[in-house]
Amino acid sequence: MKKIILLLVLVSFSGCQYFDKSVPTKDELLKRELESINWSEVDEFPSVADCDSIEDISIRRQCFFDFLAQSIQQKLDIDTLSVLYPELDTMAVRVTVFPDSSIQFEPQFPKDSVRYDVKKIDSILHSRLLDFPKINPAIKRGIPVKTQFVLPVILSIE
């Protein structure tokens, strides 16, 4: 009986060391969590209905980029740009997908480019891409987030 009481006393004294540690505050926990998140990557890339059923992440992402490039090419293939700028065969387009599934397209040219009327090309781009198919936004930790990338779009194939 004395051994059991002595053992209980030892256990209770040695167990007190756990109470000496300070408990982190909610702000400290939040700070640690925010520092552990890689903000430059998303958990799920934006997607379209045609690619949603693909299980492999890299193939689904490639499907999305292929769909996006082909859709932009088809909508711009109505000869307006090729008539205005016959030498323009490829154009970089900055695509922004917002959390509410809205999309923004911006043509990308070098800052000192005087060869093209960027405002006119931007206007054509916006008018042709008004009824663009729905894109599901990227997901980070279960929350839809804004993503942005530059996509090369082939305008004419000769």
14-45, pLDDT tens digit by residue? Answer: 555 555 667 778 888 888 877 777 767 777 88
pLDDT tens across 79-111, in order? 566 667 667 777 888 999 999 999 998 888 766
pTM check: above 0.75: no
Model confidence at 7, pLDDT cuts 50, 70, 90, reads very low
Q: What single string gives the DSSP state of each residue in 61-98?
A: HHHHHHHHHHHHHHHH-SSHHHHH-TT--EEEEEEEE-
Which of these, 70, 51, 32, 49, lies nearest to 134 by C-alpha position?
49
Angle subtended at Cα 63 by Cα 158 and Cα 92, rounded to the nearest 5 degrees: 50
Residue 139 Rama label (left phi>0; alpha psi -120 to 50; beta): beta
Give the pLDDT of residue 100: 94
